[in-house]
Structure 1
Amino acid sequence: MPQMSPLSWLILFMVFTLSYLGFLTMNYFSTFYSSKTPSQININSTSHSWKW
């Protein structure tokens, strides 16, 4: 029925939008971010002598 096509496009758009948002949230919460304090970060402060 042609009268129902705008409704099906709206439902299709909502399904793809919700699946996209679900995919983004799953990717965001699946990564593990290790929080390091500044005392745990080793900064190599040796100076380099460049020879040009």
Structure 2
Amino acid sequence: MRAPKGFLIGHFFNHQTHHRGQVHAMLTAAGQETGDTDLFLIVPEPL
């Protein structure tokens, strides 16, 4: 399969967001505090 690089990069970010949402839902259902899950809040500086 061939796709434009921009499409693939967008897909990768969207896909990892999907999995972060799944983990967040599981942790919340288990009664755990999740804290911040936004990448810009958890990535150490500087990039």
How does the TM-score come out when normalised to structure 1?
0.51
Q: Count how many residue pairs are aligned between Structure 1 and Structure 2.
A: 30
| Structure 2 runs not aligned, ≥5 long | 33-47
CA distance in 1 between counterparts of 2:26 and 2:10 reads 24
2:5 aligned partner, one-letter code: S
Q: Which has the higher contact order (CA 8 A, sep 6+)?
A: 2
Shift of 1:30: 1.5
Q: Rg larger in 1 or in 2?
A: 1
Are residue 24 (structure 1) and residue 4 (structure 2) matched?
no
Cα root mean square deviation, aligned: 1.9
How does the TM-score come out when normalised to structure 2?
0.56
Larger fraction in helix: 2
| Structure 1 runs not aligned, ≥5 long | 33-52
**Equivalence for 1:11:** 11
Shift of 1:19: 0.2
How many percent identity over aligned positions? Answer: 10
Spell out, residue by residue over 1:1-52, the C-alpha distance to the aligned partner (whole angstroms, 9 max, x if none): xx710000010011000000110010000128xxxxxxxxxxxxxxxxxxxx
Task: Output aligned runs, 1:25-44, within 5 Å.
Answer: 25-31=25-31
